[in-house]
Amino acid sequence: MPDDEFTRRVYDQLNVQPESARFFEELQARLERKERDAVRRWRRTAIVAVAVALAATAVAGVAVATPTAAANTVDVTVQCPNLEKGGVGVFSVFAEPTGNPPIESGKIKPPPPGFRPIDGMTVETGDSTYTLRLTSLVAGYQLDRRQCLPSKTKLKLGPNGLPKHATFHVGDNEYGERCTDVPKVVMRLRISNDAYGAPTRAQLLIVRAKTNKPLVYVDWSRAKVTAWDSPGCDFTQ
């Protein structure tokens, strides 16, 4: 008996029901969900090797600070111009807790090829030009020192009278705030790092350069983020 005839007889005996009209749509949706879940899992633990980060940011002209393998603190104050959007200077702040870095054989575990770490906290200007980037999943931080120059302005870390926006925990949506009509800002950033050089806590205060008026204050850690901001800024979440 030919194979195709035998297969047809077995198929008929099994009484296989025809697929539903939405079978392929549901299958595609299920595959897409699995793919998104897989990417999300990797993104939770994905990091970029410091050498790769150094190479990439060197091309972009962004300074990368990579602390030594000992607990330490970074405290910098800089003045940065904001790129214009719609004719006015604009900057945005985003933050979310990123948990603990995966450790393997006494080192931060590298990601699969092509993956980068979730950003723990960023400051962007214009459409999407990064001024600051940090995460708990890789050592060091990135600061655009081409545009952000050292400032002698004395800023006290804290809300400084700003109303509290919210507190975000791991798994919550990220914090996002955009401030417009701000030509220049002064930022004070204080980062505490673990023995691997990865941030455990970061405090960021941004004020209007001309008046020192507080605009945004973020207290970031691996487990939660609390933010305070000016009512004149826009919620971007």
95-145 confidence digits (pLDDT tens):
999 999 888 888 888 777 788 788 999 999 987 899 999 999 988 999 999
Sequence-ordered strand ranges (E) for the chain: 63-65, 72-81, 84-85, 88-95, 103-104, 107-108, 121-125, 129-134, 141-143, 149-150, 164-169, 175-180, 184-193, 199-208, 214-221, 224-229, 234-235
- Three-state DSSP class for 222? coil
For residue 98, being part of any structural domain is answered with: yes
d(C-alpha 79, C-alpha 39), whole Å:
37
Q: What is the reported pLDDT for 16?
A: 55
pTM of the model: 0.72
* Total domains, the chain: 1
Domain that holds residue 168: 44-235
